[in-house]
Amino acid sequence: MADITTTNKAILDFDHQIQEQADAFPTLSVLNNKGEIVDNDALERAALSDDDFKNIMKRMLLSRQLDIRSTKLAKQGRFGFFAPTAGQEASQMASSYAFNDDDWLMPGYRDIPEIVVKGWPIWKAILWSRGHVLGNVFTTEDGKPVNSWMPQIIIGAQYVEAAGIALGLKKRQKDAVAYAYTGDGGSSQGDFYEGVNFAGAYKANAVFFIQNNGFAISTPRELQTAATHLAAKGWSAGVPSIVVDGNDPVAVYLASKEARAWAVSGHGPVLIETLTNRLEAHSTAGDDPLRYREQEDIDTWWQKEPLLRMRKYMTDRGIWDSKQEEDYISEINEHIDDQIKIADAVSKQKISDFVKNTLEVPSYAMTEQITKLESEGK
Ligand SMILES: Cc1ncc(C[n+]2csc(CCOP(=O)(O)OP(=O)(O)O)c2C)c(N)n1
């Protein structure tokens, strides 16, 4: 054992401490950027069948097409709010593939694809983007509940909600977890720390994701925090925390599956930081990424995006080809066409209804305005 003088010296060596923090979070990686498996044991541990690979690939393609179509509709003024997802398909789709219908999804505004693959019809997602009240009804086409809360706009707030739901699931001894997504920016919010800390203290059934996509609107990751890794924030709450290559679908799935198993068996939450990148604008509301980042950086990240490596690996393994991909993309787009028609056919929300749905107890002034709007048929 080190003598007290050596220990004291080490305690006061702040440089060393910073280095230790940096070294404490190696990145979990299984399928590299070139589409090669770098760890066969981890691949085996993920236990993904050929069908699982196809399902994850299809979910990622669905997400990419939703992104493309939503962006186009937004440009035509036919969509409401949209936060692009290109580049984050592994972080969103391979992670959510590890959860069950009974698990509770706590999404942020960028996590629409995760809700859709839980059975939420796309036409409702379109209505949500338009602020229509029917976009806040989380049921499947045939009326079954979808265990998701509405996409949270207040960054980080879903972490507190997740902690509460996770504790409820534990107390009711449910075989289910709450899984929440926020971003690198969200991980600086008070709600983030409160949620992780509370869930940790009560060993609640939660899995927390920080999708580190490099930017919080225009704020780069380097300016977000001095923490060498965002995952380090989980350690302050005593929560196992890991960093994963967020563009590697196999690593993201494996991490999520292991985290869920840990949380559901009563050990408490796990925090997963997925290292990924937002390849497009923050939202379709007028953000121009070139005002705060270089095109070269964006181009470099496009080379590392998850679909490329998954396609290469699955094609090499003989379980995927361009025909399957083209057919599936056509199928998705026909489906999206139908869903747009359904959304467009829903009668427009009146302003008075919107206000009534927003305020449980309208003030006197608001009541006057509602009456006035109604008298004008608005
Ligand atoms: C509490 C709060 N503060 C500020 C905002 C404004 N805002 C919207 S998105 C955003 C950046 C969030 O970045 P990040 O958490 O990294 O997620 P990303 O958008 O990159 O997915 C901010 C500051 C907000 N929605 N909520």
Query: What tens digit of pLDDT does each residue of 218-275 get?
Result: 999 999 999 999 999 999 999 999 999 999 999 999 999 999 999 999 999 999 999 9
Query: Would the CB of 215 count as within 6 Å of ligand 1?
Result: yes
Neighbours of 28 (CB within 10 A): 22
Give the containing element (helix H, strand E) for 250. Answer: helix 249-264
Q: Is 282 a catalytic residue?
A: yes
Question: What are the tens digits of pLDDT across the range 18-54?
Answer: 999 999 999 999 999 999 999 999 999 999 999 999 9
How far out from the chain centre does Cα 228 lie?
21
CA of 267 from ligand 1 middle (Å) equals 30
pTM of structure: 0.96
Q: CA–CA distance from 89 to each of 5, 12, 363 (Å)?
A: 51, 43, 43
| Six-digit token string for 66 | 């939703």
Which residue among 217, 218, 225, 273 is best mutated to probe the pocket of ligand 1, counting the most ligand atoms within 8 A of its Cβ?
Answer: 217
Residue 245: strand pairing partners: 275
Ligand 1 atom showing the smallest separation from residue 83 Cα: 19
Domains of the chain with bracketed CATH:
32-347 (3.40.50.970), 349-378 (no CATH)
Question: What are the tens digits of pLDDT across the range 275-324?
Answer: 999 999 999 988 999 999 999 999 999 999 999 999 999 999 999 999 99
Q: Is 69 a catalytic residue?
A: no
d(CA 119, CA 147): 9
Q: Residues 59, 132, 229, 282: which is the catalytic one? A: 282
